[in-house]
Amino acid sequence: MKKILVANRGEIAVRVMRTCKKLGIKTVAVYSEIDSKSLHALYADEAYCIGDNAPSKSYLDMDKIIEVALRSGADGIHPGYGFLSENSQFCKAVKDAGLIFIGPDEHAIDVMGNKLAAKEAVRHYNIPMVPGSGKAITDVQDAIRMAEEIGYPVLIKAAAGGGGKGMRVVEDSPSFIESFERATNEALSSFKDGSVFIEKYVTKPRHIEIQIIADQFGNICYLFERECSIQRRHQKVIEEAPSAIVSSAMRKAMGEAAVNVARACNYTNAGTVEFLVDEKLNFYFLEMNTRLQVEHPVTEEISGLDMVELQISIALGKSLPFSQDDLKIHGHSMELRVYAEDPYNQFLPDIGTLQVYQEPTGEHIRVDSGFKAGDAVSVFYDPMISKLTVWGLDRASCIAKMKAAINEYEIIGVKTTLPFGLFVMNHEAFASGNFDTSFVPKYFTTDIMDQEDDNNAMIAALISNQLHLSNGKEDYVLKNRRSRWMARKQ
């Protein structure tokens, strides 16, 4: 393979291109009009405008992307994540055009793209699943009967969905009808499929996923787990590997279950099997994501593997260069998704120009970014600016390194999730490992953040004062000084 088109934008496009360049493979970028000066368009060897700013007229336009791939002489297409990455029609169209799709085949995407079809496929492998309807439901009365049979609280989930869309937790029967209607309407709007299913809601759940990699010869390995329980709006913000609660025996059981999920659909390439873990450490299959995950860097950091390089190798028909016994966990890694969102205002997306953008540097600090100083964060796309990933010998040193990296990160122009990341790293529940997916509603308040900001500002002022005193200089504590986080939120 001599040239790859990356059918995506932002940090994931740049990240894929970096591995391509390492392998001596030329890269082709596609971009919308607003992205003409974006980092991914500038980083690629070639770049082509494929439409205006609306995703449906650019990054979701299969025909235009394939046309550019053929015109540029690309051998294959890497879809990244989001957009067309889990679209089986796109996968088939790429292959029909004589190009290599760097991912699984359309059959696996179809089976795992529907949660009910996925559950049916893996049922033959005796993989544990949360009690539920087992079939799509569109009639509210049928749904009510099913909820009463399962027992409240229940979870309504879009059959064709993901990313928390079309999902509602229902605590009791009086609120069921309204929640059902909202879930089905959101599912219809997001996925053009209003069908949902009902399952028992697991209280105090952990969200833990297993990275798998599979070649075309039936070899499948699991690359350990990622803890993804720090979420807002059912979407991940902080991930780490390994999990603080997973023992070696549990890791082996979950890993082997994930491998069987992959076998259930004859999976090839990189994929992620997601599980829900209850208070007693029982795990239940949720779904499989048939693409490279946003949080794959933490797996790379603890395994020493390049996931994109493995993807390309498998797409070229090569076998895995290792077996399960060859794989070991090295240290600990954490990732913070740096979103242009205001944590002081319910994590609402923010837009604006990055007047200052300075990434932290240092040993074992990694930043996957799609932005540079002067770029604008627009309303058209996901508000992720970058992913900040750190590695340490153990979890405690990893937390300390993440704190230092966050404090070094300089972003002015938009509000970001950086202060939220610092809040999490400083919280006792996170440090102890005793948390679940309800961390944000349970612990996170702006009042607490404000108090932490004031405390941090006072500590900084006292340290500064002591340094000046030790140098024989005049005592000057800026009593009214506030931290840079507080300054930026105003």
CATH for 72: 3.40.50.20
Give the model's pLDDT for residue 453: 55
SS (H, E, C) the chain: CCEEEECCCHHHHHHHHHHHHHCCCEEEEEEEHHHCCCHHHHHCCEEEEEECCCHHHCCCCHHHHHHHHHHHCCCEEECCCCCCCCCHHHHHHHHHCCCEECCCCHHHHHHHHCHHHHHHHHHHHCCCECCECCCCECCHHHHHHHHHHHCCCEEEEECCCCCCCCEEEECCHHHHHHHHHHHHHHHHHHHCCCCEEEEECCCCCEEEEEEEEECCCCCEEEEEEEEEEEEECCEEEEEEECCCCCCHHHHHHHHHHHHHHHHHCCCCEEEEEEEEECCCCCEEEEEEECCCCCCHHHHHHHHCCCHHHHHHHHHCCCCCCCCHHHCCCCCEEEEEEEECEEHHHCCEECCEECCEEECCCCCCEEEEECCCCCCEECCCCCCEEEEEEEEECCHHHHHHHHHHHHHHCEEECCCCCHHHHHHHHHCHHHHHCCCCCCHHHHHCCHHHHHHHHHHHHHHHHHHHHHHHHHCCCCCCCCCCCCCHHHHHHC
Nearest Cα neighbor of 334 from 429, 409, 252, 398 is 398
110: left (phi over 0), alpha (psi -120 to 50) or beta: alpha
Residue 116 counted as domain residue: no
Residues 431 and 472 grouped into a single domain: no
CA distances, 357 to each of 70, 129, 312, 372, 385 (Å): 36, 44, 32, 6, 10
Tell me phi and psi for residue 427, to 5 degrees: -80, 140
pLDDT number for residue 455 = 57
Same domain, 284 and 224: yes
Shared domain for 162 and 285, answered yes or no, is no
Q: What is the distance between the alpha carbons of residues 141 and 197, in angstroms, rounded to a whole number?
A: 13
Provide the CATH number for the domain around residue 313.
Answer: 3.30.470.20
C-alpha span between 320 and 338 (Å, rounded):
33
Q: 287 and 424 share a domain?
A: yes
Task: Give the amino acid at 39.
Answer: L
Beta bridge partners of 287: 274
Look at phi and psi of residue 126 and say left if phi exceeds 0, alpha if psi is from -120 to 50, else beta.
Answer: left
Are 213 and 312 within one domain? yes
pTM equals 0.86
pLDDT at 192: 82
Per-residue pLDDT, 450: 60
Question: Domain end: 200, 221, 237, which one?
Answer: 200
Domain ends where: 159, 182, 200? 200
Q: Domain for residue 29, yes or no? A: yes
pLDDT score, position 329: 98
Q: Are the CB atoms for 435 and 451 separated by under 8 Å?
A: no
Has residue 125 been placed in a domain? no
483 inside domain: yes
- Angle, CA of 423, 166 and 295, to the nearest 5°: 45
Q: Report how far residue 203's alpha carbon sits from residue 217's, in angstroms, rounded to the nearest whole number.
A: 40
Among the listed residues 232, 251, 291, 395, the single catalytic one is 291
Cβ 327 vs Cβ 223: under 8 Å: yes
In a domain, 40, yes or no: yes
Residues 279 and 185 placed together within one structural domain of the fold? no
Separation in Å, CA 462 to CA 438, 458, 468, 469, 483: 35, 6, 10, 10, 13
Final residue of a structural domain among 83, 102, 121: 102
Please check whether residue 288 is in contact with residue 149, taking contact to mean a CB–CB distance below 8 angstroms: no
**CA 219, chain centre distance (Å):** 25
In a shared domain, residues 218 and 343: yes
Q: Give the residue numbers spanning the domain of 426.
A: 206-442
- Residues 67 and 36 both lie in one domain: yes
Judge if 185 and 219 occupy the same domain: no
Place of tokens 């308040």: 445
Q: Could you state, in chain order, the average pLDDT of each consecutive group of 10 residues for the chain (490 residues)?
A: 98 98 98 97 98 96 98 98 97 98 98 90 92 85 92 90 81 94 90 88 94 98 98 94 98 98 98 96 96 98 98 98 98 98 95 97 97 96 97 98 98 98 98 97 78 54 53 39 38
- The CA angle 126-127-129, to the nearest 5 degrees, is 115
**Cα distances (angstroms) measured from residue 228 to each of 332, 335, 388, 401, 419:** 14, 10, 15, 19, 19
Residues 276 and 147 in one domain: no
50-54: Cβ within 8 A, 24+ apart: 53/378, 53/380, 54/380
The total number of structural domains that make up the chain: 4
Please check whether residue 392 lies inside any domain of the structure: yes
The whole-number pLDDT of residue 466 equals 56
Instruction: Let me know if residue 180 belongs to a domain.
Output: yes
Same-domain pairing of 291 and 428? yes
* Residue 337 designated active-site: no
CATH of the domain at 174: 3.30.1490.20
CA 385/CA 394 separation, integer angstroms = 27
The encoded tokens of residue 365 equal 């600090």
Q: Is 211 in the same domain as 156?
A: no
